[in-house]
Structure 1
């Protein structure tokens, strides 16, 4: 995410490295590179220029503390101003209605239908809501079918009526259905078109007037950059929506839309889509995004994702097994499944400070664990429970069954043994011994 922009900003800050103080000359040189990096990231030139002028004013007005170097101070100022540019504080959806009505808008192909499902799944799993998805696109039968597929995936009811061609009547009937059946959130998936046109705007305005939603959200593809910002402005001029949803942000190496959309439409980015799975949705935190853009990682989000997957009862069981030397490959497999639920490996690595930069040229496969899982699935229940029983002939059989080599099986067994020892040391408080063992593993 934003790899290209992060690299260019990093090079810009290097201009100040070795300088003992901030001067008008070295600040101007640094900010020239920062402005160029933002424009290359598809940020509007005026926004980039205003941004760097503001940073310059702040930088020249501050003395460099003894604890900070000039380039570190510049990074801090840029981080603070980037956070403000992207909205400052996180804003979630208004769920005050009974039911709360959320109107989804956007162009065709922006990922509106899929994101409606992601939002429903988020509200169901994280906010304990009972959402109802509503198919208001009366032009594309495939859109209705797609919403039903999405609803089945996440276990959320979908309200639709292929016979009715008036989306206002469908929306009103859906809200009545929600009140009668205990749904406290209604998400209206409306029709999109390939470009903004009067027919579409009139239709969504009619729905808005009829149902008076608590939230009107505009869904836009982050990868379209400045086009996304321009489309958002056109929509907002007519619809006056409450917030923006940026989809496909995981594939956006530039970041222009995320950085500049708030200053153009003066509406917050509320959520971002970070993958294809139904749980690939995050609340947009401007401060955390600024950290990631500047290569500082996002430890808070990483910890939050880990906590979501943390099972206290399962953790206690594993602790007991570790204490009794009974930790086996079935337990290891469960740990792998928990890590996979946290998101794509590339996204997770980007949240670790410095890791994104170290691994930028590495191809991080989302199926990074598939060979390990294949080897474990090729073991017998006895072998999984008793890893020490795996001898040469068993290794050969496991390798053959998993499509791997004996060397790979050996490597897995070695890593598993080292990890088991480390886990036991952590339980026993043997920090120094664990550090020595980690050095040997390097």
Structure 2
């Protein structure tokens, strides 16, 4: 694949040049000055609710006119509570430890050299994302806190919202020592420019896609910039024979319906055959009362009157809506085998009280987050105590699971000597 070479006429050239300058400034700023900038960004959002919501209303109306699904409209929607959440998130980031202010390790080698492994920013981070404008504030804050400049490329369905948010965030940076070019937005939603962005090696140090399977696969196939793969969430919950039925029912409903359009929502339920006749009707009633349609195998359809027959795609795809795939499995081995085959490696859970089964599940399920007796909805940087997240990585190199501040840094070795030469 040929890398795109930028010229001064290309819109990315200016963005990249400004971002590189900003990243150099950020690299040298003390934590306190970055924290002041984050608090100023939070205050700017608070002051500009009306402006942001007006822009978002335009996007919502355009989305409805263009036939966006209810799930995508839900992702797109901002309201005062969500804006307050953005404000709170930026304030929380300001209170977190700066990852670049510390060394991971220090030691002295046999030659008397003092060696330190120090955290450093990645540089310029590119974010490609779809219809969630809250990513604009979260990503900007996290990148800045870790000492990185960011270039954002959101989906066309959220263009007005993202433009308003970036203007507001840049306004907040005015008067601080953080350059406003630390946060920039690509306003041209064309696919051609998106492809050029993925290949903008001279202007971007790392690319992070956030969105559905189509977006992520497109970035992985077309990018020449190093990519941190954030995964789609075909999340599973296995109800073992030893499970507490009341707990299982509560967890299933929460994992599925708390927010259906996000990547950590439950998509597939596996129920042990030995307890299916007793437990599945209870689970089905609770799900149906919450408005969820059950897509089941033959055994499920025999037990659940309103279930619809499931096909292969029901077990492979994300619904991101009020649907769930259900399968009855012949014990632990079949459950783990199904997860191995169909999971995207995001978040998978077991409901059980059998200690050995739980330990086997934790050891054998190779996902970024593996849960015991808890909802998969906790796969979230803020819930993990990271103060927010840039995405949830399903790969194993560099970062895995919810990515907080440390995932937005690399490291370098600092070697201090007193005249040593190698013999």
TM-score if structure 2 supplies the norm length?
Answer: 0.27
TM-score if structure 1 supplies the norm length?
Answer: 0.26
**Structure with greater proportional strand content:** 2
Structure of greater relative contact order (alpha carbons < 8 Å, 6+ residues apart)? 2
**Structure with greater proportional helix content:** 1
